[in-house]
Amino acid sequence: MARRALRLCKPRGSGEQAAAAVVACAALLLLARMAVAAWHAATRAWPWLAAFIAAAAVMGVWRMLRTARVRRVRALTLARLRLTLAEIDAMDDVAFEFALRDLLIRDGWTAHRVGQQGDQAADVIGQDRQRGRIVLQAKHTKVAGKVGSSVMYQVKGTAGPVHGANIAVVVTNGSFTRDARAWGERHDVYWVDRDRLRRWAEHGTPLQDLLRLHNRPARRAAFRRAA
């Protein structure tokens, strides 16, 4: 058998109406007592709640100040960053990538390390408001090691299409073959060998000055030229 839906019926007669009125008054009285009890509980707990809020605010301000101080200290440290070739030669591949990132930050770039398996020829990516995006491919090698043209091909093929960069640089603590340097200069892939790395890391010459990186043309000017 199908169940019938329950429906509320209006009170019939004075007796039912009086009973309904009593029930309604009882419900209102119960709600009023609950509201009063909640108010008293909140009043009693208010000092503890205020103390908790104040402690949370103090903790938040302290964390913000500590983070700002850490950032200031790091910025000052990076501003004075100097790395000798002996220190760089003693690094492993990962430490070398982080060192290049820090050198970019020292020079005013916003940079982060990307280098990992499948990085598609980008170990460090940096961004500059005026010069655009830069990709660094790090090649930590022995002092007598040489970087060949194949690395230049790979960086050129991924810097723009994959990483959206307009500047591609290969950095090594060794040297480059003659063909690699010539190919890079023809196809706008910058290279930093051991001598240039000394000027950048040890002497403090900014990378943009070392490689003579120019500012990007304004979008409006570039649009006018294209038109």
Instruction: Dihedral sign for Cα 172, 188, 207, 70, please.
Output: negative
Q: Which two tokens stand for residue 89?
A: 């030669």
User: Cα dist. 182→138, 143, 165, 192 in Å?
Assistant: 19, 21, 21, 13
Could you tell me how far CA 56 lies from the centroid of its own chain? 26
Question: Region 136-141: what's the mean pLDDT?
Answer: 96
Q: What is the pLDDT of residue 193?
A: 97
Give the separation between CA 38 and CA 23, rounded to whole angstroms.
Answer: 23
- pLDDT tens per residue across span 144-199: 789 999 999 999 999 999 999 999 999 999 999 999 999 999 999 999 999 999 99
Q: What is the pLDDT of residue 225?
A: 39
Q: Which amino acid is at 81?
A: L
- pLDDT tens per residue across span 71-108: 666 566 566 789 999 999 999 999 999 999 999 999 99
Q: What are phi and psi of 118, to 5 degrees?
A: 80, 25
Q: What is the pLDDT of residue 60?
A: 82
User: Cα dist. 222→159, 181, 217, 218 in Å?
Assistant: 21, 29, 6, 6
Report which of 211, 200, 190, 178 is spatially closest to residue 85, judged by C-alpha positions: 200
Give the separation between CA 67 and CA 39, rounded to whole angstroms.
Answer: 40
Question: Region 99-120: what's the mean pLDDT?
Answer: 89
Question: Region 199-226: what's the mean pLDDT?
Answer: 75
CB 210 within 8 A of CB 196: yes
The label of the residue with tokens 């020292």 reads 106
| DSSP 3-state of 174 | coil
- pLDDT tens per residue across span 6-44: 555 555 666 667 777 777 888 888 888 888 887 777 777
